[in-house]
Chain A
Amino acid sequence: MERRNFLMSMVAAATLAPQEVRAALHRPSIRYLRPPGSLAEEDFLATCINCGQCSEVCPNRCINYFGFENGLKSLDTPYIIPREKGCILCMKCGDVCPTGAIKKVERTAEAIIENVKMGHARVDEQLCLSFQGKTCGVCYRACPLQDVAIKVGRLEQPHVQESCVGCGLCERSCIQMPQAIRVIPDYG
């Protein structure tokens, strides 16, 4: 009976909100970020020619390339796994990108906050040490936009602000396992 209920609700969802169901079906199973300044996902896939220069210019070597794990369309396109290595927002990949799949963004805090939207960091207060009474503040110190993207409260509890660009350095630096702060990707 429960399965039937579940199926019925699935059918209902499919008929009532096809848009959301389709989005759910296409949601990638891997949580990855695109390089800073990337176009919205569909445009990015149509524009990127898989030349590999963005990774080749990255001083932090945080950009890697998909095989078939994210679908045929993503083959050889760049991604960043923030827990492995975050983006240091040097903006060199946008300079070198020949097609404009990664936009040119000037390397100033204002321009970056304005144009870069890789994702948005979210704190899991159940996991975060500061929220559990043990002062930490590592993510705050790792953040390249301190006091703009993350503000700290009592016991250095991180509060992510609207201007977070999702570079992932906080997630990379989190000393909790699993990480208490993670970047929720924004694919445009």
Chain B
Amino acid sequence: MADKRPAFLVRRHLNKLRWVSLTLVFAMLILLPYLHIYQSFEAAHAYDLLAQSEKRIFDVMETLTAPFTDDPEEDLDFIKGTTWSGTFWGFKLSDPLAAAGQAAAGLNLHWPFLITALIPVLLTALLGRFYCGWICPATFIYELNSNFASWLRWAGIKTGNRQFDKRIKYAVLVMGILLSGVTGSVLVAGVYPPAILGRELYYAIALGGFGSGIIFFLATLLFDLLVARRGFCRYLCPGGALYSLIGRYRLLRIRRDVKTCNDCAKCDVACEFGLRPMSDGFGQECNNCTACIAACPTDALSFTLQPVDGPAQGPGHLGRHFRRAQTDANADTRTEVHGT
């Protein structure tokens, strides 16, 4: 018998890589506040005066960083911030929404800051909403929340799965930018989950307690759980809206190979964003998260480089609908042959 083991396809495993990426980003958001606490202890030169719990933080962080640095007080400044805006070895990166919100609030273009959003904007133009699927720390929690919801459904508890208009988030984006401009303060940062989560984790660990933003974040979790699956990301997130717009003509897209698709609809179920990969319905909302690729049993989904989605290709050639149509067509030709 021939070896039936399928070939190893990198794209089938990208979804795992994505989880690694999400976990790393989230872990960094937790580690950085502790590193900062450690730095401030180092700066104070007062190990003996620390409380027992503080000594524990000091010891753990010293063990973690000792192989890499002799002067933690200065060297550990190399990485600061969150996904909203961060500094890596003096190189600054910011969320495009931060740049948009700040330009609106100040009613001027402050180039040194706008430039820090350039690389994310370029990457988004090429790769689409990859931030939402691969980096966003809120996505990490929201996807876990989404998995939790499917456990609840498995246990017989109903969770919300209402559908809204996906264009609501563009209205939220416009309102957020407008209100930032009118009030002269970057208010849009207060309704953007990754920014909130980055801040609140820092407040909770280094400043002694969560701030007010965590209430908003918990509300979005409940919204996702009780009203609509991934509802905030799909319908309300202003950052997601901005990324969607920037990535509208992205180059990297997921494409369905109609010849190997068998219409099983697993991709449609796997898609966190409620898109329809099986009917070639990706559009600007797709964040290239590769969950549908990983779910596809016939490897019919793969990446392609095109600035627009291809046309709808109809039912998959391995599927029931297509084969029935085929048999009917064959039958028609046979009767025609008989007729003559």
A residues contacting B by CB (< 8 A) are 42-43, 45-53, 55-61, 64-65, 67-68, 72-76, 92, 96, 98-100
Q: Is the pair A73, B183 in contact by a Cβ cutoff of 8 Å?
A: yes
Enumerate B199-232 residues with CB–CB distance to A below 8 Å: 199, 202-203, 206-207, 211-213
Question: Is A49 a contact partner of B106 (Cβ separation < 8 A)?
Answer: no
Residue contact B213 to A99, C-beta cutoff 8 Å: no
Q: Which residues of B contact A50 (CB under 8 A)?
A: 84, 186, 189-190, 195, 199
State how many angstroms separate the Cβ of B22 from the closest Cβ of chain A.
20
Q: List 20 A-B contacts (CB under 8 A).
A: A46-B184, A47-B102, A49-B84, A49-B85, A49-B102, A50-B189, A50-B195, A51-B195, A53-B81, A53-B85, A56-B32, A56-B33, A57-B80, A59-B40, A59-B73, A61-B40, A65-B207, A73-B184, A76-B189, A100-B112
With A50-B189, A56-B81, A98-B87 as known contacts, state yes or no: A65 contacts B183, CB within 8 Å: no
Q: Closest approach, in angstroms, between the C-beta of A22 and any C-beta of chain B?
A: 16
Q: State the CA gap A98–B36 with chains docked (Å).
A: 18
Given contacts A68-B212, A98-B87, A49 and B202 within 8 Å (CB-CB): no
Given A49-B102, A68-B212, A100-B112, A56 contacting B40 (CB threshold 8 A)? no
Q: Which residues of A contact B206 (CB under 8 A)?
A: 55-56, 61
B contacts with A, residue count (CB < 8 A): 46
A52-B81 contact in complex given A46-B106, A76-B199, A98-B113, C-beta closer than 8 Å? yes
B33:A98 contact, CB within 8 angstroms: no
How close is A44's CB to chain B, nearest CB, in angstroms?
10
Distance between Cα atoms of A76 and B212 in the complex (Å): 9
Nearest-CB residue, chain B, relative to A73: B185
Cβ A52 vs Cβ B94 within 8 A: no
Closest chain A residue to B101 by CB distance? Answer: A49
Q: How many angstroms from the CA of A72 to the CA of B186 in the assembled complex?
A: 10
Check B175 for interface membership: any CB of A closer than 8 A. no
- For residue B92, CB closer than 8 A to chain A, the reply is yes
Task: Add 6 more A-B contacts to A51-B94, A55-B206, A72-B185 (CB < 8 A).
Answer: A48-B186, A49-B102, A53-B80, A59-B73, A61-B40, A100-B113
Known: A59-B43, A65-B203, A76-B189. Contact between A51 and B211, CB under 8 A? Answer: no
